[in-house]
A and B are shown apart, each in its own frame.
Chain A
Amino acid sequence: MQESGLHSKNLLILGVLAISISLVTTIASLVIYHNSGDIYLDRSRPGFLPDEEEVETKPESNYSFSSTGNVDAPVLNDFIDHYEEAVDVIDNLESPFSATPLSDESLGIPAAEASKN
């Protein structure tokens, strides 16, 4: 009887210990995830999942310049043509991170001079 009581007590300690270790490691990993800034680059978190329209317009190209072979003018012409197309993809995004969305005007904050009058 005493032995089975001891076993159940040890089992309880083991369970509490296992839960405590998993809690500590989960909290530590979440702290690292947040503090390293990875959370801001992670688009799989709720509210930041790419929508269908975005998946369709994702910049993708099957072209890849070969890293082997001769380098002459026709090869570079081919490179330039494809490279210019790939750079155009960046220009498709008009003024990324412009100041407008955070301006006083956009946020409905009156200008200092105007509100004094």
Chain B
Amino acid sequence: MNMSKKQLILAAVPALALVSIFCFAASASATDLNDDQKGAISQHCATTKQSLKTLQRTDARSRAYLGSAYESLIANYITPLDLRLISSGRPNANLTTIHSRIIDTRKQFISDYTSYSQALEDLIATDCQSSPEEFYTKLVNTREKRATLSTTTTNMRNLFSEYLTDVKLLRNSLTSTDQTEKENK
């Protein structure tokens, strides 16, 4: 038994080393550019910067649009329904849990957007004409932050759907309760 443990440890060490080397190589290749790519970045620098500035404005617009939609759903629908359920003596644990997850995800959305905007501004400020490699490294970082932000918006949308599903379940249970009460009368 002891031998097998030693063998496992001995086998794990080179395996870990190989995985580390592979990860390092993969991360390096993500930002390693060939001459053609460097040339293209330098050549299209002005156009790229203009596109990024337009994207920055479009994103600010999307953030404001989504922010008001989230705010409206929370303030005009979810919070009043939760309060009404509690005051009418029918608190629903599932709906309350989804409500708090929505609040957390909304905070996450603001934090992810801020982090992404900082990365995008840093990317726009980078001189792509003289430092294409630095620009590309920052571009990869901005893409990652944008992907995180996109995932958060998807999570938020799924939570709103989850909330609706649970409200429908509650409605169905109330409908069947009402029918039973009528039949008993």
Contacts and interface: CB of A to CB of B under 8 A. Distances in A.
B66 A90 contact: yes
Contact of A64 (B62, B80, B161): B80
The 6 closest A-B pairs by CB, nearest first: A37-B114, A115-B36, A40-B117, A67-B80, A76-B171, A67-B83
B73 A77 contact: no
A65 B76 CA distance: 6
Contacts of A3: none
Contact of B48 (A58, A97, A107, A115): A107
Given A41-B63, A112-B37, A102 B77 contact: no
Contacts, number: 159
Interface in A65-117: 65-73, 76-77, 79-80, 82-84, 86-87, 89-91, 93, 95-99, 101-102, 106-110, 112, 115-116
Contact of B84 (A48, A71, A91): A71
Contacts of A97: 59, 62, 116, 146, 149-150, 153
Interface of B: 33-34, 36-37, 40-41, 44, 47-48, 51, 55, 57, 59-66, 68-70, 72-73, 75-77, 79-81, 83-85, 87-88, 90, 110-111, 113-118, 121, 136, 139, 142-143, 146-147, 149-150, 153, 157, 160-161, 164, 167-168, 170-171, 174-175, 178
Interface residue tally of chain A, by bracket? Answer: 35 or more
The prevalent SS among residues of B at the interface is: helix
A109 B40 contact: yes
A8 interface: no
Residue with the highest number of chain A CB atoms closer than 10 Å, among B65, B83, B85, B136:
B65
Contacts of A110: 36-37, 40
Contacts of B161: 87
Contact of B88 (A59, A70, A108): A70
